[in-house]
Amino acid sequence: MDVTLFLLQTLNGIQHGLLLFLVASGLTIIFGIMGVINLAHGSFYMIGAYLALSLTQWTGSLFGAVLLGIPIAILLGLAIERLFIVHLYDRDHLQQVLLTFGLILIFNELQSIVWGDDPHSVPKPAMLAGSVPVTETLSYSTYRLFLSVVCLVVAGCLYLVIHRTRLGMRMRAGAYNAEMVRSLGIDTRRLFAVVFAIGVSLTALAGIIAAPDRSLYPGIGEQVLIISFVVVVIGGIGSVKGAFVGAILIGLADVYGQAYLHDFRGFASAAVYALMAAVLLWRPTGLFGRR
């Protein structure tokens, strides 16, 4: 086994995991705090990616797409929460799954109408298009390094918001006992709307910045959704820390699986699920889940 290649795969796994974290953290806080299983979460990743396509064309730069895409995602999140999700708070999980699955169908149809079913790609910003040489023969994509840095910065900001601000305190308190939060004079409807918008914008951001590194095609939202659920379950439902560790583990398992198990047909993509099964056998509520 080539050590340098292994290190590059590791970097890829971490980068893949960090991006997954942005999606999974939104999924896990929406479930943990609001009690809503949001199957449409992957759709916000897809929307982010396609927004990156249009907004990069329109503004001429990916950075423009990020600057415009995030406010759009926040507004979209607030609108979806007020129109649909708000009706799900006191419903059982089956109803949540049905409604949010319906949203997936709608978003996919809209994607097909607006952007068509052909694959697309989004150009990388020129300054990040190159690669960083690692050895004489191997190099690593500058853009992927940039992705990792952005994800780490966002993860750090999320940590600060959750652990160092009153909003974060209220979010954590709401995850535990929303009735008590209301009894203290906090409008949990507004709190939940903010949480949902944060979750949506994290996911949309992941979609926007991932777009230049991956191709865009119908169904990318669902792919990300499924793997994010695996991350959330491994990390422990509702735990952002768990989502972080889970995402890195899954990112690595996925990349190592593709790289080293490709000789065993079918096993390459199964590495992720094997990891999930192993974690759940060991800790049924996930790594950082509440027992």
The binding site for other proteins (CB under 8 A) comprises 166, 169-170, 172-173, 175-177, 179-189
How far apart, in Å, do the first and last CA atoms of the chain sit?
40
The per-residue DSSP string of 34-98 comes to H----TTHHHHHHHHHHHHHHHHHHHSSHHHHHHHHHHHHHHHHHHHHHHTGGGGTTS-HHHHHH
* Least separation in angstroms between CB 83 and other proteins: 20
CB nearer to other proteins: give 164 or 262: 164
* Least separation in angstroms between CB 284 and other proteins: 20
CB nearer to other proteins: give 123 or 168: 168
CA R_g for the chain: 19
List the one residue out of 175, 171, 247 whose CA is nearest residue 206. Answer: 247
CB nearer to other proteins: give 34 or 47: 34
* Least separation in angstroms between CB 163 and other proteins: 9
CB nearer to other proteins: give 68 or 173: 173
All residues at 6 or more sequence positions from 118 whose CB lies less than 8 Å from its CB, including other chains: 217
User: At 68, which amino acid appears?
Assistant: L
What tokens does 254 get? 């996925």
* Least separation in angstroms between CB 102 and other proteins: 28
Spatial contact of 155 and 18, defined as CB atoms under 8 Å apart: yes
* Least separation in angstroms between CB 161 and other proteins: 14
CB nearer to other proteins: give 87 or 262: 87
DSSP summary character for residue 284: T
Spatial contact of 242 and 236, defined as CB atoms under 8 Å apart: yes
* Least separation in angstroms between CB 189 and other proteins: 8
Residue ranges in the chain assigned as alpha helix (H): 3-34, 41-59, 62-83, 93-115, 142-164, 166-176, 178-183, 188-210, 220-235, 240-260, 267-282
* Least separation in angstroms between CB 168 and other proteins: 9
CB nearer to other proteins: give 160 or 169: 169
The per-residue DSSP string of 130-143 comes to SEEE-SSS-EEEHH
CB nearer to other proteins: give 166 or 265: 166
Angle at Cα 247 formed by Cα 33 and Cα 27, nearest 5°? 25
CB nearer to other proteins: give 37 or 175: 175
* Least separation in angstroms between CB 16 and other proteins: 30
